[in-house]
Amino acid sequence: MKRILQWLLIGLALAWSLAPVYWMVVTSFKDALEATRPVPTFLPEAPTLANYQGLAGGSLPFLSFFVNTTLSCLATAALAMLIATPAAYALSRGRFRLRGPISQGILVFRMLPLVVMLAPLYLMLLAAGLLDSLAGLVVGFTTFGLPFAVWMMKGFIDTVPIEIEEAARVDGYKKWEILVRVVVPLVLPGLLTTATFVFMESWNNLIFPLSLITTLAKQTLPAAIQLSFTGQFKTDWGGMMAASTVTTLPLMVAFFAVQRSMVRGLTGGAVAGA
Amino acid sequence: MPALGVLALVVGYPVLYTAYLSTQRMNLLDTDPSRYIGTRNYVRLFGDPVFWSSLENTAIYTFGSVIVAALFGLSLALLTENLLGWRFRSIRALLLVPWAVPFVVVAFLFRFMFLQDGGVINAVLLRLGAISSPVLWLNDANLALPSTMLTNIWTMTPFFFLLLSAALSSIPIEVIESARIDRAPTWSMVFHIKLPFLRNELLISGLLMVISNVNDFAKIWAMTEGGPGYATTTLVVYVYRLAFGDFNFGYASAIGVVWLVLLLVFASLYLRAIRTA
């Protein structure tokens, strides 16, 4: 009896989690009329690829949106890790006076209202001539993702036994050599998890591309979806769901690749750093 | 050390610059340069009803969705706790799917499902007889905020589920065993033994989600753009409208500063609560 109830509830939970995603994918294979029929069909009556073909050959350059998003998010992840790894290492191993306050401060930095950064960022990029460019967007994404990346990386680096580093020091390694040759290989899974997290956050970000990019061809996928809703997809929910499915796939792949070490990354910093 | 310098610059500069902007009369659409006006932006803020309703909406949206999502996540974690091996792994993977859907997509997907005519939610509810005529959902001033919150809960539940189910599995087996020998009933096992172990995980993951929800722009903007009226206008949406609709950077920055102060107060109280635990 108890088991039946348990599986019933699990079934309900699965339906709650998966039904919307199922609906998105199914709708993307329906034609425009069938997509919003008053009595919805749970499988497409006449499955069609027209919505996906419409993305590739429509009036909007979806391929460049896809490339823009992928490039800027990958660049952000790489740049953020390049800065965050040594910073986290310094916070984890350094013995300087401000170490404690900085470690805790990072969590507080994370609370910065996005918009507090947006106005100065906009004016800064305007002055640097980087407004409306992917480089400027990468700067924006990195600003936002960096503090948390440091926090996650510190959690991972804290778990590396200090004895290993001392052995390396005895062998005559310089400080940066210890970081690059000893610590980084040991925390590689953590580094990849953190990078993926930054990647996902940038992919999710809508406010930065909307306000920092003005040329449509340079937009990212999420912003393009938002902008095209008033245009190309106004009533075309099939096309909208096809664009959504395409936007979801890369994130889904990235997420499930690192899902296992995600837990440690998200709580590790808090447990070890508090 | 240099890396920490970069970090300080990246984070510190915008804060100071925002504080500076908040004392200026600055509008990018004006031809005259910005000038110092002292605290006038802050005075305006106190008499601005939209600011106060945004603050209220932010609080309801954030705490409402975080609390419900945490309860859902906790229930799912307890529900799947005794499963093992591939069964657990595959169910966990399926339950995590919503986390991997980009926010903008979630927003439009739910917007589509919430449609008055042709939306699947109305269609199903009509069929079941739960409602007699289509509901407006996102276009109803009273239902818009709860509808966006429901959407938000859907994306957030997997986060709590994953963290809490990891925490559950790290409870020492002896603790559970000794309680079982004492024939503790299921509910008392959950409330007296498991929940105290999850306390810190719950508090920390709750804090992380509160922070990211206060900043949530994508979901609300893509679903309602803050409407109808100001029904779903949160602080982020309001500041975005001020800064990039009216280009009134001075006033927008003043709100940003007040908001930052409120968050800092909240976070320090919260972190203190964690530490005394």
Contacts (Cβ under 8 Å, ≥6 apart) of A241: A24, A25, A27, A28, A35, A51, B109, B112
> B222 to chain A nearest CA, in Å?
6
CATH of residue A153: 1.10.3720.10
* The pLDDT of residue A274: 32
Q: Check pLDDT > 50 for residue B175.
A: yes
Q: How many CB pairs under 8 A join A and B?
A: 234
* The pLDDT of residue A270: 47
What token pair was written down for A211? 């306000």
Contacts (Cβ under 8 Å, ≥6 apart) of B70: B160, B202, B205, B206, B209
More confident residue, B44 or B34: B44
A247·B205 Cβ contact <8 A: no
Q: Is residue A15 part of a domain?
A: no
CB nearest A211 (choices: B104, B162, B244): B244
Classify domain B50-247 by CATH number.
Answer: 1.10.3720.10
* Complex ipTM value: 0.83
Number of domains in chain A: 2
Chain A residue numbers touching B240 (CB-CB < 8 A): 115, 118, 207, 211
Residues A35 and A159 in one domain: no
Residues A33 and A129 in one domain: no
Euclidean distance between CA atoms A152 and A268, whole angstroms = 7
A267·B240 Cβ contact <8 A: no
* The pLDDT of residue A100: 64
Q: Check pLDDT > 60 for residue B197.
A: yes
Residues A159 and A46 in one domain: no
Buried b (16+ CB within 10 A) or exposed e, B112-142: bbbbeebbbbbbeebeeeeeeebbbbbbeee
* The pLDDT of residue B71: 93
> B178 to chain A nearest CA, in Å?
22
The domain locations on chain B are: 50-247
- Work out the percent of chain B whose per-residue pLDDT is above 90: 15
Q: Is residue A12 part of a domain?
A: no
* The pLDDT of residue B272: 78
Question: What average pLDDT does this structure show over B240-256?
Answer: 82
More confident residue, B39 or A154: A154
Reported as a single tens digit per residue, the pLDDT across B92-113 is 888 989 998 998 899 889 988 8
Residues A185 and A79 in one domain: yes
Reported as a single tens digit per residue, the pLDDT across A131-186 is 888 888 998 888 888 888 888 888 888 888 888 888 888 888 888 888 888 888 88
Given CB atoms, is B252 within the 8 Å cutoff of chain A? Answer: yes
Contacts (Cβ under 8 Å, ≥6 apart) of B190: B78
Which range marks the domain in which residue A115 is found?
A: 62-235+249-273
Q: Which residue has the tokens 């009216």?
A: B246
Euclidean distance between CA atoms B84 and B80, whole angstroms = 9
More confident residue, B66 or A162: B66
For chain A, list residues with pLDDT below 70: 95-113, 115-116, 229-235, 263-264, 267-274
CB nearest A244 (choices: B108, B211, B253): B108
Residues A151 and A79 in one domain: yes
Interface of A with B in 182-241 (CB under 8 A): 200, 203-207, 210-211, 221-223, 225-226, 229, 237, 240-241
CB nearest B11 (choices: A147, A211, A240): A147
- pTM of the prediction? 0.84
* The pLDDT of residue A271: 43
